[in-house]
Chains A and B, each alone.
Chain A
């Protein structure tokens, strides 16, 4: 049987968790079994709806101490819930990166972190994962009886079906945390960068933080998250959590629009898994064009406002 861990943020199941649920349901089909889910902490969503993503039973542990994240406590609870499962699925976000390795040790289960495809079962149990910062894939053979797969965000399309999941509380021993969270500083109401389907990103070509208005306007129209290159975060034009690249966040949206970013290899390492890349740069020799699907050589201050007008027209807003 397959168990998927559903991550939540402020009481709402994260979008990438639904991808993981779909992936778990498809994996279960391959194995001739069913997929269940587990949710830790209190959520506001109607969990019976998870049936539409192929989930049969949803186990909930609503102990309030789980509203604070601690990898050790979460892994303890998950290990209890996973006792009767053969495969555990995560979405490979920062929560999973903290818990899945611990659970791997607890369950003696081989872990594939960063999976991009369903397991291949013809010759053992092999899972394709992203390696070399998106520049290659490795097919990982897992030899343990139990397996853990952490699915890369935006690597698997949600499959919607009919169905209603059964929600039932799971009695777990939660234990006490050795970690005390003293403050959380979070920008709410924005599209999550790692889960965004469209990302509009700006670089040094934009000349200063005061010029981000058009980036934000274009992003707003496209329902996109905003991002930036490393130098822009380093000189504090933009907050650090917007930095995408080798040392920042690695993302894989359906559309990445790079404006005034030359495309150093370290930047590409963070965005090369994007499905479609658009580059707008006034330098025709910018290396980014080699990695792009669409490009415009031109001044961002002329091109972007025209693009905004065109998007408004397309959406019937102008």
Chain B
């Protein structure tokens, strides 16, 4: 079996969000970068578990980004995976990115493509579905459990207020979220091994872009918290009813 896992680089969850150049660029100064948590904890780790269960499995990672992403790709390789492919482009349009991944997925003959359910910076949840359409494959989004038997996958996905179990034959695209796997920390052997794993840099294939970020805004600052005494919860109820008008 051949698995392709999409890994994206995002600012750390605690990073300060600010913008420069007339609000057209994310302010990167001082920002710590991480592997997008959904890609790492759920998509990548579940793929590693599948490879551990069946060592014949080939596990490749893919990223669309510039050379600045390489340290993050090495971090991902330290967790597991045989090699990584970086499509050398800083275009951040979801359609363009999906076209790059779809091209690799098609030519590489992968049985499974895993993505995180979304990136924590763009929050688009778009890449998996677009790749599935471009490759004409079924797509299960928001997967919380994934098992495989032969060439048939059993996937539990989260739905409103519950979950749904689906059975589908490979090949397949899956977006992963909490529940798929338990977070891991790379060990020293993994970190050392990652240095020598292949990280192939490939030029982007021609593709249109459908969208671009014109500008960013920050939300208006909160007015500040209004404190109510612990002896007077009825005052809180009154404020919510009469002032905030939310109950």
Contacts and interface: CB of A to CB of B under 8 A. Distances in A.
The answer to whether A and B belong to the same complex is yes
A110 to B, nearest CB: 3
B120 A246 contact: yes
Which size bracket describes the interface of A in this complex? 35 or more
A43 interface: no
Q: Is the interface of A mostly helix, strand, loop or mixed?
A: mixed
Contact of B14 (A187, A265, A292, A302): A265
A204 interface: no
Contacts of B230: 296-299, 302-303
Contacts of B238: 310, 314
B142 interface: yes
Interface string A2-28: 000000010000100000000000000
Given A182-B165, A186-B162, A113 B125 contact: yes
A143 interface: yes
Contacts of A275: 246
A316 B211 CA distance: 52
Contact of B161 (A99, A241, A302): A241
B95 A110 contact: yes
B209 A143 contact: yes
Q: Is the interface of B mostly helix, strand, loop or mixed?
A: mixed
Interface in A125-149: 126, 128-133, 135-144
A88 to B, nearest CB: 13
Interface string B207-227: 011111111111100110111
A105 B237 contact: no
A104 B134 CA distance: 10
A50 interface: no
B105 interface: no
Nearest to B229: A296
B129 to A, nearest CB: 3
A93 B160 CA distance: 9
B49 interface: no
Contact of A137 (B142, B216, B225): B216
Nearest to A186: B162
Interface stretch (A56-64, A68-76, A164-172): A68-76
B90 to A, nearest CB: 16
Contacts of A102: 129-130, 132-133, 139
A34 interface: no
Given A132-B123, A140-B212, A241-B161, 6 more contacts: A97-B142, A101-B125, A131-B123, A184-B159, A293-B222, A303-B230
Nearest 5 A/B pairs, CB to CB = A298-B230, A101-B129, A186-B162, A110-B210, A310-B234
Interface of B: 11, 13-14, 17, 19, 37-38, 41, 94-95, 98, 117-118, 120-130, 132-134, 138-142, 144, 154, 157-169, 177-179, 208-219, 222-223, 225-230, 233-234, 236-241, 244, 246-247
